[in-house]
Amino acid sequence: MIEPRPEFLDELEANLRARHQALQPRRVVRWRAAAAVVMVMFAASLLIPSVRSFAQGTVEDLFKRAKSDTLPPTYPEEPSTSAIEWVEYDTIEEARAALDDDILLPSQRPDGFTLRGIYGASDGSVLQLDYGRSGRGLLISAAAGDHHINDNIIGATAEIVPVAIKGIEGAYVEGVWGAENPGDDYRWMPNASFRRLRWVDGDVHYEIYNMGGSPGHPGYLSMEDMIALAESLE
């Protein structure tokens, strides 16, 4: 599998911080760019937990296929600066008290991971948990209502694997968009070490995103591991 270089991740996080400050002057809390471990392909869309419309439907709807495995360097467009206000919580318990009652959270920290940040919408409708282990990243996102967090566009040839999470249909995808140099077209990289699991439970949209690593190494979660983590939310 293809993994991003550690120094690339540091540079990307610094860039995301700078862009966040420029685009979101009205936000009153520090946001550590939970998605900073994601490669440059969707830096613009992940630098802010931008709320996106998501229609509940088939498993194929959980991810949206691009028309090809290449996207122009102008994609994605800049996120809106009128997004909702975000806050940072100190503990899971504090976040749980502020969130929509329908949003499920981990009952315990994923094995071996350190919780690096807890970010939520001030109205309690969206949450993102940022974990790390041995240089690998893990994001758990939840959004109630008509919203979802992070982009869900994948390459035209990407494989979507249907899964079941406590009897609920979900979808699993491996791969990521990547560009070798700034200004290059984005290419879908199916062998990159990025794994995403999505499902909708009632009115809440969920995503688990595991980045980096290889089977058997710390911080790597397989599809089965991610499903088990999803089923542990309560």
Reported as a single tens digit per residue, the pLDDT across 151-164 is: 789 999 999 999 99
Tell me if 1 is assigned to some domain: no
Reported as a single tens digit per residue, the pLDDT across 63-101 is: 999 999 999 988 765 444 346 688 999 999 999 999 999
Reported as a single tens digit per residue, the pLDDT across 173-184 is: 999 999 989 899
Q: Tally the domains of the chain.
A: 1
**What percent helix, strand, coil does the chain show, rounded to 5?**
20, 35, 45
Tell me if 175 is assigned to some domain: yes
Tell me if 158 is assigned to some domain: yes
Tell me if 224 is assigned to some domain: yes
Read off the pTM: 0.77
Average pLDDT of the chain to the nearest whole number = 77
- Domain span at 195: 6-231
Q: Could you give the CA distance from residue 227 to residue 171 in angstroms, rounded to a whole number?
A: 10
| pLDDT at residue 84, as a whole number | 66
Residues 6+ apart with CB under 8 A from 214: 1, 3, 193, 220
